[in-house]
Amino acid sequence: MTIPTDPETGEFKRAPNRFTARITADGADGWPAEAGRYRLVVSRACPWASRALIVRRLMGLEEALSVAIADPIQDERSWRFTLDPGGRDPVLGIEFLGEAYRAADPDYDGGISVPAIVDIPSGKLVTNDYPQITLDLDTQWGAHYRDGAPDLYPEALRDEIDEINRAVHRDVNAAVYEAGFATKQSAYDDAYRRLFARLDELSERLAGQRYLVGDTITEADIRLFTTLVRFDAVYHGHFKCNRNKLTEMPVLWAYARDLFQTPGFGDTVDFDHIKRHYYQVHEQVNPSRIVPGGPDLSGWAQPHGRADLGGRPFGDGTPPGPPPRHEVVPPQW
């Protein structure tokens, strides 16, 4: 895997999302939210893709929007479907996600990323715009939500959620990569400083309230969770984000456990996929490709005490039921 960094500054530069069409209730972009029409392609290793898995579970979209789980180890040809019989996705009939990208644009030669939503009839990629994908799953698929689905993006709180999301993206979600992929000390130092300053600020915010915005789970919590759940397993050591482990930050550790133990969160997390992807794919960071044995994961099941802060995880809604049998993650510990 080639990591794009600026040769002068040593800063990691993430490429912008190339395919940004939206799937909406009214189909204004030409892509209406229709049950059975699309396939969500994810890797359980990827934090951006994990957001979409969580939202899909919470909103009860499993029957309306099928999912393809890619092998956590991609090669130069892109994310691959080697977990499926014959090495092909059984619905799309392709071996590599890159095939859907090129079906949408035969001249495309950029990166192949997840999450990606593919139009099943044409085999064409619709979108890889991960920030918008979850917002649209939150708001545009209403005809297909389960009974009791929560409101993850309440209209009255959207400005505050958006503000938190911008800060968390810049200084947490993206900063861990900017620290880990930096090739000059100054680039690393800047990302490291921003990361832990923001985590300290979030700790203060969450010391007195159960969730980031309001008294229910929102899109903001999902976006922070997918970085926190990977922190000790990969970011602390592999990406040199090592001022503290998550388990050494009491408020954030309890907050992350609270979410992990909430239906729809921990039941989408696969630590085996996470560790194998980061340590075996990022050869520039880990040339030996050795996957470490730790950390001990059993702490994720320990009591968190966060319910004492009040809050209603699903608002006026209800928890999702168990995941479909074919999507159950193997026991983690």
Would the annotation count 253 as a binding residue? no
177 is catalytic: yes
Q: Please tell me whether residue 39 adopts helix, strand or coil conformation.
A: strand
CB < 8 Å & 24+ apart, contacts of 145-149:
145/59, 145/60, 145/61, 146/59, 146/60, 146/61, 146/320, 147/60, 147/318, 148/60, 148/314, 148/317, 148/318, 148/319, 149/58, 149/59, 149/60, 149/317
Catalytic residue (choose from 101, 153, 177, 211): 177
130 is catalytic: no
Q: Which helix (H) or strand (E) holds 261?
A: none
Q: How far apart are the first and last CA of the chain?
A: 30
**Residues in CB range of 66: below 8 A, 6 or more apart:** 36, 38, 39, 40, 91
Beta strand 66-69 pairing with 38-42:
parallel
Dump strand ranges (E) for 222-288. none
Q: Which residues are annotated as a binding site for glutathione?
A: 79
Which residues are known binding-site members? 79
- Active-site positions? 46, 177
